Structure 1
Amino acid sequence: MKRELLVMLTLVSVVACSSTDDEVPEQVFKGEQLIQPMPLPGGTWERFIYTYPDAKRINWGLVGKKDVLEVVEFFGEELGDLAAYRMRQDKADAAKCASFESELLDTVVRNGYQEMLWQTQCVELETERSLFSYHLSISGHDSFFVLSRRWPDMPKQSSKNAWLDYFSDVMLCDDRLEARPCPY
């Protein structure tokens, strides 16, 4: 009996230790999924994950810089109006700025989901630094997604282009629906 218990515990330990972060149970990939290409453009990024009762936030920080990519999934459909969300976000951001500009770049339906891409420019009240950001919001059926790429100063055009290309490859899919297929 002791020997059988020891063998079982050893097997459980071996299986648990052999699992890696790259190995995710298949059931995790059921339903609506945000697909982001990896690696992120521009260097080495660190990931920080925060969970809340109504949202999940992943902050990516460019190592050695103050550059940020923030990815937020708001659970539920209540935020599904892209234009209303943009107005609320712009209002909150503008309150921190001496001057603020927001420009709509694109609205599109991709893979059956409404998307909005816009850019903002801000001169900070306290530091008078010029900040630049791209924002991509996607209205899903289970959740609402927002990706915000923020630079701590004005980026080069090549960096802006790389991130526009990146955002064009981000997609929402749902493996429960044939009309919204996932690439995996």
Structure 2
Amino acid sequence: MPGKGRENGYEFGLFLTSCTTTPASKSETVLTKAWLGNDSTYFVIKSWRSKVGKAEIVKWARYLSGVKVCDSRIEGRKCP
């Protein structure tokens, strides 16, 4: 699941991080997808502030696999 690659001409990374103690809650798990775009770096984040199971993480990783960065200025990277 976590990894890196290229989508729609942009480099991306998918990261899963956990912290057992945070100021806001007892624990937090964060699934982040980040892209290096032409103008900016883009992030989509799903966060859980409770215990999360593998099935829920897999469900959201699949969802994030469908989230892409597009650019209407570049042929082949147009937005839907």
TM-score range normalised by the length of the shorter chain? 0.7 to 0.9
Return structure 1 stretches of 4+ with deviation > 2 angstroms: 125-130
SS in 1 for 2:73: coil
C-alpha separation between the residues in 2 aligned to 1:169 and 1:127?
30
Structure 1 residue ranges without an equivalent (≥5): 1-103
**Which has more helix, going by share of residues?**
1
C-alpha separation between the residues in 2 aligned to 1:142 and 1:128?
34
Question: Which residue, out of 130, 152, 160, partners 2:49?
Answer: 152
Count of aligned positions: 80
State the Cα RMSD in Å.
2.1
Structure 2 residue ranges without an equivalent (≥5): none
Identical aligned pairs, as a percentage? 28
Structure of larger gyration radius: 1
- Residue identity matched to 1:151: W
Q: How far apart are 1:161 and its partner, in Å?
A: 1.5
C-alpha separation between the residues in 1 aligned to 2:26 and 2:5?
32
CA change 1:150–1:128 in 2 (3 A) is closer
Deviations 1:117-152 (A, max 9, x none): 110010115587232110111111122111121100
Alpha carbons 1:111, 1:181 under 8 Å: kept: no
SS in 1 for 2:76: coil
TM-score (norm 1): 0.40
TM-score (norm 2): 0.84
Question: Which residue, out of 136, 157, 166, partners 2:63?
Answer: 166
